[in-house]
Amino acid sequence: MDTPRTPGSTRLDGGPRGAELLDDPVRNRGTAFTEDERARLGLHGLLPPHVEGLDEQAARAYEAYGLKDDDLERHIYLRALQDTNEVLFYRLLLDHIEEMTPIVYTPVVAKACERFSHIYRRPRGLFVSYPMRDAIPTLLANRPNREVDVIVVTDGERILGIGDQGAGGLGIPIGKLSLYTLIGGIRPERTLPIVLDVGTNNAERLEDPEYLGWRHERIGGEDYFDFIDQFVGAVERELPGVCLQWEDFATPHARPILERYRDRLLTFNDDIQGTAAVALGALLGAIGVTGKRLRDQQIVFLGAGSAAVGVADYLRAALVQDGLSEAEARGRFWMVDKDGLLHAGRPDLTPDQRVYAQPEDRVAGRPRTSRGAVGLADVIGRVEATVLIGLSTVGGAFAEPIVREMARKVDRPVIFPLSNPTARSEASPEDLIRWTGGRALVATGSPYPPVRHEGRTIPIAQCNNVFIFPAVGLGVVATGARRVTDAMMLAAARALGGQSPALADPNGSLLPALRDIRAVARAIAEAVGAEAQRAGLAPQTTPEELRARVAAAQWTPGYPQA
């Protein structure tokens, strides 16, 4: 798409009337319909007589929300509200963004995906099932709204840290797109969540009599990739220029899919590129606090899957930008997976992992585990690691002796346990702060409360992709970008790092507060758009015009005036 897309408006006249209108979550205003609108649209008698404003509706909805007994019930309530009145839903979330973001997305969305078939109420998004692989264009044509700016698609195989959820994985695209709208301001009716239902290997789902997905083991091999290719071809024909985000695909599929289509579509993989960008942004904030340069860091990873390699790729690119050669930058990474340190002598590494394999001469003579591997404790013991990043989904893997050894050699250790959900986190921030005497600079994958330590209150940044993907969506929609490149993602990361509160206050969070995130999203979208223009992937504008287009494209929930 060569021209920016404008946000448009939701019109009432010429659309559904009466009860049909009240059943349309995009146009429904519920008790906020005015007397004139009620008369004109056949609504008298279908609504209570009192006319409310959006403020009154939001206050009443929040009261109802507060009556729910647990987080899953709160999630269900918010989803029901989204299916009834999207303006009210987003206004409620905006009013209580710090409280409700974890409910509508991580960590509560994990439980919602597990229980998807049991809490299903009404349709949202598309189920593209393998048995209907020859009818994918028809399925896309059945979408509820013609114009779509952003699609989020999953195959449900690697949902957060809870694994294969089959068709229940649709909860992830629904939640992600809610944040595209809440934060990036992508109009809700121009988003489309999709699950590619290729079966599931989750025995619990297959044996559940209420499971709503295709009851079949997962399709694999060439059949799987042929199905993906059919889907992409249908999207190209039916929705040319749409931004297509891949979400929660397993490691053997995630990067091959990205590499296959990244130069053909406006597309990116949030687990690989979004995770990498937000981690780099938080790390740049942390490095700014230490007073060191990025090029001076020794970086240890626990986990070497697609997300970890994606983070490493962006950090490596930033190290090269900071003056290191490619070889020098690679040498700063020590990646450990379940079989130990990645090194050149291991025959089991993928090509992407082999980039970070340490030469044999740097491994020789190091202590080994009982299985002959060089473990995390061995690496921390021998390397003056300044940064420790966890993307292993192994809860508690950053044990006290490992953290204390790291802190013994480094004044301000940077430690990011990024695995989701909370039970899979490599360490709790409270432990990390205590074990390092309050010196650790911590960001996590799941939300944690501030930590009290020796009279200080230390905020814990959640290294959540919400800081990146909604802003990237806003940037490409506002500028009409034709591709999403790594350079655009790196620009997003640097813009995020520049917004770190810790740069002004060393005791501050490494990432901005959620209450400020819509303004942060605009700044990041401008950086993304500027890089797209620099690369010739979007129409040229002045910086002032770019800023104005980004601001105009960011939808804010409200009822248009008659």
Question: Measured between alpha carbons, how far is 403 from 380 in angstroms, rounded to an integer?
Answer: 9
Question: Measured between alpha carbons, how far is 246 from 124 in angstroms, rounded to an integer?
Answer: 18
Is 158 assigned a ligand-binding role in the annotation? yes
Buried/exposed 457-479: b ≥16 CB within 10 Å, e otherwise: ebbbbbbbbbbbbbbbbbbbbbb
Question: Nearest-CA neighbor of 190 among 134, 152, 133?
Answer: 152
Adjacent-strand bridge partners of 371: none
Question: Measured between alpha carbons, how far is 70 from 417 in angstroms, rounded to an integer?
Answer: 26
3-state class (DSSP) for residue 398: coil
Question: Measured between alpha carbons, how far is 30 from 32 in angstroms, rounded to an integer?
Answer: 5
Identify the residue whose tokens are 């699609």: 151
Q: Tokens representing 494? A: 């640097």
Is 271 assigned a ligand-binding role in the annotation? yes
Question: Measured between alpha carbons, how far is 382 from 436 in angstroms, rounded to an integer?
Answer: 18
Contact 517, 466 (CB under 8 A): yes
Q: What's the distance, Cα to Cα, between the start and end of the chain in Å? A: 32
Is 98 assigned a ligand-binding role in the annotation? no
Q: Tokens representing 500? A: 């770190």
Q: What is the DSSP letter of 244?
A: E
Give, in order, the Cα–Cα distances in Å from 228 to each of 91, 133, 164, 194.
36, 9, 18, 13
Is 339 assigned a ligand-binding role in the annotation? no
Contact 243, 441 (CB under 8 A): no
Q: Which helix (H) or strand (E) holds 476?
A: helix 469-479
Give, in order, the Cα–Cα distances in Å from 294 to each of 236, 291, 354, 503.
40, 10, 23, 15
211 catalytic, yes or no?
no
- Count CB-CB contacts under 10 A for residue 558: 10
77 catalytic, yes or no?
no
Give, in order, the Cα–Cα distances in Å from 235 to each of 129, 240, 264, 370, 533.
15, 7, 12, 50, 25
Question: 40: burial class by Cβ within 10 Å (0-12, 13-18, 19+)?
Answer: middle
| Chain center to CA of 198 | 22
| Chain center to CA of 8 | 26
Is 247 assigned a ligand-binding role in the annotation? yes
Adjacent-strand bridge partners of 192: 151
Q: Tokens representing 241? A: 């220029």
Give, in order, the Cα–Cα distances in Å from 3 to each of 170, 400, 476, 485, 491.
31, 54, 10, 18, 21
DSSP helix, strand, coil percent of the chain (3-state; round to 5): 50, 10, 40
Is 420 assigned a ligand-binding role in the annotation? yes
Question: Measured between alpha carbons, how far is 245 from 262 in angstroms, rounded to an integer?
Answer: 10
Catalytic residue among 65, 90, 176, 448: 176
Catalytic residue among 105, 224, 314, 356: 105
Annotated binding site for a divalent metal cation: 247-248, 271
Annotated binding site: 158, 247-248, 271, 420, 464
Catalytic residues: 105, 176
Annotated binding site for (S)-malate: 158, 420, 464
